[in-house]
Structure 1
Amino acid sequence: MKGVNVQIMGQSLVVASDAGDEWVKSVAETVDERIKAIRAGTQTVSSINLVILAALNFADELEHLRREHQELMDRIEAMNKRLSAAIDGDPS
């Protein structure tokens, strides 16, 4: 596993990952952009607070996506059951 050099908040970091270099750079860029957006919208100057707010922001987004994913999976399962029943000739 090799390291990829990225910049976040002006800090150079080497990130070890099995993902490709472009993926790692893209993720780091997303994190850096989110921190910059938070910095622009708040009076917080502490780097730690900015990073915590960014982490909370990402966690919130992730939880919403997880719930949306589960709802979609539930809908697909229900549709699959209805289709199977229709194919088998079961009117319920």
Structure 2
Amino acid sequence: MNVVTVFINGIEYNLKGDEQEEYLHKVASYVDKKVKNILENNSKLSTSSAAILSALNVADDMLKVQNNNDELSKQVRELKKVEKVYEDQINSLKKQLKYTEELNGEFKEKLKKAESDDQLKEKDKQIEKLKEEIEIIKETTQKYIKENTKIIEENKELKFQVQSGKYKIIDLQHKLIENQINLAKEKKQKNPLLNRGSR
């Protein structure tokens, strides 16, 4: 467990935590800025009132990040559904393409056995038509593959944002807890009766 000495609104505190010292200093600095900002806007406030308002601001920040995180998670779930639909469509198109190529192969075999010119011409037309269909299917498949790739990239980015949001929530929760601890310490220091009662 790490123990660091920090200053919040000019008052010295000893913070203990499993987190790294740099993180604990960062938390204290964040709370210090919040308290000082509130006191600058209203110098008549007591330190304890400023601490309470700071706690409210931190809680507000945390809830906003959490709401944003929930929204991003919802978008990720929706994108996963879309991605699944595209994957199913791509698989279906690949099956169609394979089937069409098999048909094309069958037609070529039959053409070899054809005897009349009329039959050959008809088969040629059918082959050309199948070739056109194959090209269309290939183009459509490529289009879906590109769209799917784009969705996968967007999905990765959203997952990253969701993870970042979770870390921000954890960070804000730590800050809120530290702020509450600081408020309790300040109340204890300012109220001698509380100090005597706790002995």
- TM-score between both structures, scaled by the size of structure 1: 0.90
Give the C-alpha shift of residue 71 in structure 1.
0.4
Q: Report the Cα distance in structure 2 between the residues aligned to 1:57 and 1:11, rounded to whole angstroms.
A: 20
Please tell me the residue identity of whatever aligns with 1:2. Answer: N
Q: Paired residue for 2:17?
A: 17
Q: Is the 8 A contact 1:44 1:50 kept in 2?
A: no
Please tell me the residue identity of whatever aligns with 1:66. Answer: Q
Give the C-alpha shift of residue 43 in structure 1.
4.0
Q: Report the Cα distance in structure 2 between the residues aligned to 1:2 and 1:31, rounded to whole angstroms.
A: 19
Q: Is the 8 A contact 2:2 2:21 kept in 1?
A: no
Please tell me the residue identity of whatever aligns with 2:39. Answer: R
Q: Which has the higher strand share?
A: 1
User: Please, which runs of 5 or more residues in structure 2 have no aligned partner?
Assistant: 91-199
**For residues 26-37 of structure 1, what are the structure 2 equivalents within 5 Å?**
26-37=26-37
Corresponding residue pairs, total: 90
Q: Report the Cα distance in structure 2 between the residues aligned to 1:4 and 1:11, rounded to whole angstroms.
A: 14
Q: What is the Cα-based RMSD across aligned positions, in Å? A: 1.4
Q: Report the Cα distance in structure 2 between the residues aligned to 1:84 and 1:25, rounded to whole angstroms.
A: 45
Q: Which has the higher helix share?
A: 2
Q: 1:18 to 1:67 in 2, by over 3 A?
A: same
User: Please, which runs of 5 or more residues in structure 1 have no aligned partner?
Assistant: none
Q: Report the Cα distance in structure 1 between the residues aligned to 2:36 and 2:48, rounded to whole angstroms.
A: 13
- Flag the structure with larger Rg: 2
Q: Paired residue for 2:58?
A: 58
